[in-house]
């Protein structure tokens, strides 16, 4: 049997918040941008004594040019040289921003990177000398930070600022951690209510002739239907279409709703309107994957919650769990995302671990037990109604598959996305492309082969791994190691929670009953222990490969084990399903196949196969690495006491992100090419890369990469964190460590 610790092992957290620069005596140097740039007193030059003359970076130069004089270069006055870490600059925002861009942003993309060909030096005026003395800002990192700070200052309406040098040469690990904590999470946070409905309910994937904001309300939330109906009546200019969902949701219903796609309601809480004094509703907040999204996503939310908890944003992580419970209660599942066309499709299930991590932070607060009870009840309902029910359950193996129901062409992509697939059928039926799509979607045209193609396509999207050659034309038939590891984790989490928190008796109320359950049915831990044991035996039988020392997917249609090598094999360590012997074999045999300069590869090059014009690269294949694969592998390795391996992998991933952040104007993106040491954020496979398209300063990063960064800093040790701050490659760092060890041993002899 696998090792199942009482609680999941989590590495100790570092001290909260980035430290201030050494030697700085000024409070608030690293405040968030809103606080820093809206405090008027901060930008009054009180340190300059009696001097009143102030110079911008450009005005003094221009004045001396007109007089035909050449100003002598001054290195700085005595007051700056004695307190170098407290140096401040007196800056006129707009002219300095223009000078910086014209001189340093040579490719004109509103970013300063190592690819720009400017002189990489800009002179600023010091505040202590009232703008009389100068100091050079040098290098890509400091200049790009200056661009970011000036962009923020301009955004907050500042004409003149006094800028701390410490914000320009800040340790990059501290700066990125601070940006994530103070800016990125806020930039990615959404709530669905009257304040946001105009934007959130307008679907960017509404390809119909009359796109308009639309929201669907479940039957069990009449208070929300009343709320949004009043919003629509009070604000007719919105053209908000408020629809009540039928009680029973079927693939036919979802298909017919595709002509009117819309947002799905999520959880709301009561509050008193401060203007009217009356009770009203307010949406529970959640974090979205990237800046362009407005709907709640599935497994992205779990990964994001790990970072939120590191930053003590417990209420936000708790709110996301509550939104998931609402979805399970009213829609039957945690959805791929909360849009109408996703009603039949889920995503990798992480609810129990997410809820338990939140509960661990709030367990001494009022209502904590009820929060956990609701979460576990929701997970039990989802487990029975989605993952161990047909069509997802394979009755022969007892294992589960990604196999969502659905009819027709997936509507979240334009039909033209599948033109190469559909054209032969268009020719066969002698009609136009549009006529075929309409006939096929309505069921008037029957094409079983096409049904199979789209069944697998929907399954790939439910898996979260869209797309990969691992799942090409077969996903719905695969009992995957990732999904079955997650369900094993559900089973062990539910068993342990019922036993330890609810005294081995959990009453199931009517709204959470599924199948043959009677209201007030009592669940005990023993049956969940048995389910976990059965799944462990099935995983060992069908998915484990002793010779290769790793887990593979199992093809339930052809009754054979697959050969695609995927980093999801390490999910078995995260879930605790592997035995110590299996874990050791994975570290010895499997890990070297996936480890690259920037962390873990999604899959091996051999498994992906040759690529070219006819067979383009897929984003979940070699050579790309994704945050979820890193996080789950680190945690799994740590769980089985492979601490050095976890630290090494975390260091490589964090180094890659930090270096791209330093070299490319603070960029943080959705995924990385972990084989590229110079520009790993450049990914051109399939959908490109989210998080690249910003002007001046990045506002959001990308949800699960933000989380992986702050979570990964908990995995690495203090020496590693310091080395990351100096951009030391792993090979250089480990060589220095080994030399120090050898020196220490020699001194002992």
Choosing from 382, 670, 673, 700, which is the catalytic residue? 670
Specify which residues 461 forms β-bridges with: none
Specify which residues 393 forms β-bridges with: 400
Nearest CA to 575 out of 542, 603, 535 is that of 535
Is 241 among the residues known to form the active site?
A: no
Specify which residues 3 forms β-bridges with: none
Q: How far apart are CA 295 and CA 304, in angstroms?
A: 14
Q: How far apart are CA 382 and CA 325, in angstroms?
A: 10
Q: Look up residue 286 and give its two tokens.
A: 């959640």
Q: Look up residue 209 and give its two tokens.
A: 């002739």
Distances (CA, A) of 454 to 209, 476, 521: 25, 10, 39
Q: Report the 10 Å Cβ neighbour count for 15.
A: 7
Is 731 among the residues known to form the active site?
A: no
Choosing from 182, 466, 621, 700, which is the catalytic residue? 466
Contacts of 651 by beta carbon, 8 Å cutoff, 6+ apart? 716, 720, 723, 724, 730, 733
On whether the CB atoms of residues 651 and 733 are closer than 8 A, the answer is yes
Contacts of 182 by beta carbon, 8 Å cutoff, 6+ apart? 32, 33
Q: Give a three-class secondary structure readout of 27-81.
A: CCCCCCHHHHHHCHHHHCCHHHCCCCCCCCCCHHHHHHHHHCCCCCCCCCCHHHH
Instruction: Determine the angle formed by the axes of helices 172-179 and 703-715, rounding to 10 degrees.
Output: 130
Contacts of 395 by beta carbon, 8 Å cutoff, 6+ apart? none
Using CA atoms of 101, 102, 106, 108 in order, give the dihedral in degrees to the nearest 10.
60
Nearest CA to 709 out of 663, 660, 636, 643 is that of 660
DSSP string, 629-660: HHHHHHHHHHHTT-HHHHHHHHHHHHHHHHHH
- Altogether, the residues listed in the chain come to a count of 749
Containing 607, the helix (H) or strand (E) segment is: helix 605-608
Q: Look up residue 582 and give its two tokens.
A: 């299996």
Q: Look up residue 554 and give its two tokens.
A: 């199992």
Q: Which residues are known catalytic residues?
A: 466, 670
């Amino acid at each position: 049997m696998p090792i199942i610790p009482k609680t999941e092992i989590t590495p100790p957290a570092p001290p909260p918040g980035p430290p201030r620069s050494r030697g700085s005596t000024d409070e608030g140097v690293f405040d968030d941008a809103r606080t820093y740039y809206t405090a008027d007193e901060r930008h009054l030059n009180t340190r300059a004594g009696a001097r009143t003359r102030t110079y911008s970076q450009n005005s003094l130069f221009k004045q001396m040019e007109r007089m035909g004089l050449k100003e002598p270069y001054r290195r700085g006055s005595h007051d700056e040289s004695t307190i170098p870490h407290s140096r401040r600059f007196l800056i006129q925002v707009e002219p300095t921003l223009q000078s910086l861009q014209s001189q340093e942003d040579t490719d004109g993309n509103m970013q300063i990177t190592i690819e720009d060909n400017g002189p990489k030096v800009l002179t600023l005026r010091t505040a202590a000398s009232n703008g009389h003395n100068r100091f050079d800002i040098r290098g890509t990192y400091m200049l790009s930070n200056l661009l970011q700070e000036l962009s923020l200052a301009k955004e907050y309406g500042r004409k003149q600022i006094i800028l701390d040098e410490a914000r320009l040469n800040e340790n990059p690990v501290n700066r990125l951690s601070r940006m994530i904590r103070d800016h990125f999470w806020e930039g990615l946070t959404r709530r669905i209510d009257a304040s946001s409905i105009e934007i959130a309910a307008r679907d960017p994937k509404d390809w119909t002739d009359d796109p308009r904001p639309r929201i669907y309300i479940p039957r069990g939330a009449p208070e929300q239907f009343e709320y949004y109906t009043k919003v629509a009546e009070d604000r007719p200019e919105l053209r908000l279409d408020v629809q009540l969902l039928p009680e029973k949701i079927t693939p036919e219903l979802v298909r017919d709703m595709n002509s009117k796609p819309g947002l799905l309601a999520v959880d709301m809480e009561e509050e008193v309107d401060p203007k009217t004094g009356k009770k009203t509703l307010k949406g529970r907040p959640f974090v979205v994957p990237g800046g362009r999204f407005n709907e709640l996503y599935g497994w992205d939310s779990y990964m994001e919650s790990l970072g939120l908890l590191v930053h003590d944003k417990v209420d936000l992580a708790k709110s996301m769990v509550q939104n998931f419970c609402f979805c399970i209660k009213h829609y039957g599942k945690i959805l791929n995302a909360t849009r109408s066309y996703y009603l039949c499709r889920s995503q990798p299930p992480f609810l129990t671990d997410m809820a338990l991590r939140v509960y661990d932070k709030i367990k001494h607060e009022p209502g904590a037990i009820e929060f956990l009870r609701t979460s576990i009840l929701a997970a039990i309902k989802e487990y029975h109604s989605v993952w161990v029910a047909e069509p997802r359950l394979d009755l022969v193996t007892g294992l589960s598959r990604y196999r969502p129901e659905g009819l027709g062409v997936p509507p979240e992509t334009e039909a033209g996305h599948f033109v190469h697939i559909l054209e032969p059928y268009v020719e066969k039926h002698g009609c136009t492309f549009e006529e075929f799509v309409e006939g096929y979607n309505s069921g008037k045209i029957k094409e079983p082969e096409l049904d199979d193609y789209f069944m697998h396509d929907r399954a790939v999207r439910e898996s979260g791994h869209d797309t990969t050659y691992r799942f090409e034309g077969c996903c719905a038939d695969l009992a995957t190691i990732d999904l079955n590891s997650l369900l094993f984790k559900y089973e062990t989490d539910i068993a342990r929670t019922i036993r330890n928190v609810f005294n081995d008796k959990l009453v199931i109320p009517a709204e959470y009953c599924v199948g043959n359950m009677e209201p007030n049915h009592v669940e005990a831990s023993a049956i969940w222990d048995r389910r976990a044991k059965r799944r462990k035996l099935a995983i060992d039988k069908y998915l484990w490969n002793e010779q290769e020392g790793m887990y593979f997917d199992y093809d339930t249609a052809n009754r054979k084990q697959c050969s695609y090598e995927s980093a999801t094999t390490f999910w078995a360590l995260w879930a605790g399903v592997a035995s110590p012997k299996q874990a050791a074999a994975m570290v010895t045999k499997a890990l070297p196949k996936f480890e690259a300069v920037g962390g873990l590869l999604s899959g091996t090059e051999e498994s992906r196969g040759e690529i070219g014009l006819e067979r383009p690269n897929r984003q979940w294949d070699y050579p790309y690495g994704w945050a979820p694969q890193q996080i789950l592998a680190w945690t799994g390795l740590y769980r089985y006491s492979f601490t050095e391996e976890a630290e090494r992998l975390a260091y490589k991933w964090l180094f890659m992100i930090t270096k791209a952040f330093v070299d490319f104007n603070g960029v943080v993106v959705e995924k990385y090419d972990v084989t590229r040491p110079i520009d790993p954020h450049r990914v051109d496979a399939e959908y490109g890369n989210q998080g690249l398209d910003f002007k001046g300063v990045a506002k959001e990063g990308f949800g699960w990469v933000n989380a992986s960064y702050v979570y990964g800093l908990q995995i690495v040790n203090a020496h590693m964190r310091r080395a990351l701050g100096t951009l030391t490659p792993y090979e250089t760092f480990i060589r220095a460590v080994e030399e120090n060890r050898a020196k220490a041993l020699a001194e002992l002899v």
